[in-house]
Amino acid sequence: MEFLADIKNLMLPEATILIGALLLCILAISYPQSKKTAFITTLIILITSMALCFQLDTATVVMTFGGSFLISKFTVFFKELILFGTILTVFLSDKYLNKIQKTASEFYMFLLVAILGALILVSSRDFITMLVSLETLSISGYILSGFLKEKQSQESMLKYLILGCVASAVMLYGISLLYGISGSLRFETIYLATKNHQLFNVAALAGLFVLSGLCFKLATIPFYNWAPDVYQNSPLSVAAFLSTVSKIAGFGIIIRLISELFSGIWVLYLVVGIIALASMSIGNFLGLGENNIKRLMAYSSIAHAGYILSVLCLGSTLSLSAAVFYIITYLFMNFAAWSCIELLDNSSETSIEDFQGLAYKRPYLATAIVISFASLAGLPVFVGFFSKFYLFQSIAFAGFLLYPFLFFVLANSLVAIYYYLKVIKVMFDEDVEFDKEIFLGKKFAAVFFVSVLFTLFAGIFSAPIITYSQQIAQSQIPAVIEYESIEGTFFDNPQPAK
């Protein structure tokens, strides 16, 4: 009975989502034409996030199922972020599902199953739990991305699936090596085993495989090239989901792995740094020549994942809080940009040329696009400027040795400006008359206004958000200290001399 009590007390949000998904499954069979599914889905997610709120005040870290599931302030925060992103996704999907006349319940069911995987993934403290939840998230992701049942969509889905399998295989290989070292799949046992210096090399190799596999979720080097195709050919809301919510779950687990499991293996920090630099360069340079807006967003999201990883490799609490702040702002900026694109057109062939003349027909929409893309580019006074600044600040505070690294990241943000401005530039073309119909639904307007207003104003009022992300970052430490008293190597903030 202890098992059931644990579920009731600690896995209530996940259980709610699971029950909700089953409910939608029944609904899909019995009432295929129901119009209320979006509402029900939203309701389920809201109930879940309320259930999560009960866990918010857990001051200490709680573990359950023999230590394979962890609840801390940090994981609860990531779960709330995931749920919020999912609500935005649901609102974004509504208009599109109405248009293609498909059974919506099915779509929402897979969405819920996907976030069930995401929620457990963030909390997992055991490689089996992690793998199962990761696959739950991925497989639902494959289905969602192939939801259009068109030839191109199927093709990109297949690409996504195959690459996903390869990534999982790579990760499994790493996990098996870790199992060989420690004889356990628990994070803490593996951590203690890998502290042994004789096993350092093997552990580093295994960690490299595990991280590479997870990079598939983040769409960074080495598994990045599914992103442009999948974003282009899947439903837009799914692309938005994959580029934000699914990535946030990936960041959640990667942060926990880096700080809890691999905190003693410095080589992996270097690896993360290299992955970060390579991803942002690849994303930005491929973005330069891209004209398809959805593919451009894919490259942009590859680059942004690189920025976030670039602070994670520093390993200090300061850099972690910068990453958390960046993730929060990235969620809103990205949804702002995606909803602007959705408003315009929703075909896989939408090129940035389709924006021509928009600014003179629809000045307010154009302003929103300028806000969201300028924010992604990191121009003031939008939120992207502040999160980029905090990111650069935390790199600079890691010491002067990292200044070449800082310059590389800075140079990347210069390159990125070009393609974001390209989108803005096209809207102000006068040669072509913009003649598309634009329809702003109610739910859609909610996403649109929330994300655009956040992007516009959150930077100016960023003090509380930064303070909050610092608290979140600090709350990640006890989970590590739990194992054993760790020498404060990687969690030392830069301290003044006195």
Give residues in contact with other proteins (CB under 8 A): 360, 363, 374, 379-381, 385-386, 389-390, 392-393, 396-397, 400, 403, 406-407, 410-411, 413-414, 417-418, 421, 425, 428, 462-463, 466-467, 470, 494, 496-498
Nearer to other proteins, 156 or 413 (CB): 413
Nearer to other proteins, 98 or 467 (CB): 467
d(CA 421, CA 300): 13
CB of 498 to other proteins, least distance (A): 6
Nearer to other proteins, 160 or 392 (CB): 392
CB of 403 to other proteins, least distance (A): 7
Cα-flanking dihedrals φ and ψ of residue 158, to 5°? Answer: -65, -40
Query: How many other CB atoms sit within 10 Å of the CB of residue 430?
Result: 9
Nearer to other proteins, 183 or 488 (CB): 488
Nearer to other proteins, 183 or 363 (CB): 363
CB of 110 to other proteins, least distance (A): 39
Nearer to other proteins, 54 or 457 (CB): 457
CB of 409 to other proteins, least distance (A): 10
d(CA 416, CA 296): 11
Nearer to other proteins, 351 or 474 (CB): 474
CB of 427 to other proteins, least distance (A): 11
Nearer to other proteins, 12 or 417 (CB): 417
Nearer to other proteins, 171 or 358 (CB): 358
User: Among candidates 230, 233, 248, 312, which has minimal Cα distance to 275?
Assistant: 312
CB of 385 to other proteins, least distance (A): 7
CB of 416 to other proteins, least distance (A): 10
d(CA 486, CA 192): 11
Residue type, 486: I
Q: In terms of C-beta density within 10 A (0-12 exposed, 13-18 middle, 19 or more buried), how is residue 47 classed?
A: middle
Per-residue DSSP letter, 351:
B
Overall residue count recorded for the chain in this entry = 498
Nearer to other proteins, 266 or 389 (CB): 389
Distances from the Cα of 273 to the Cαs of 172, 345, 367, in angstroms?
22, 37, 36
CB 420 within 8 A of CB 373: yes
CB of 220 to other proteins, least distance (A): 23
Nearer to other proteins, 74 or 419 (CB): 419
CB of 208 to other proteins, least distance (A): 31
d(CA 45, CA 83): 6
CB of 52 to other proteins, least distance (A): 25
CB of 206 to other proteins, least distance (A): 35
d(CA 391, CA 37): 40
3-state secondary structure of 292: strand
CB 17 within 8 A of CB 49: no
Nearer to other proteins, 97 or 318 (CB): 318
CB of 387 to other proteins, least distance (A): 12
HSE value, Cβ hemisphere, 13 Å, CA-based, for 97 = 25
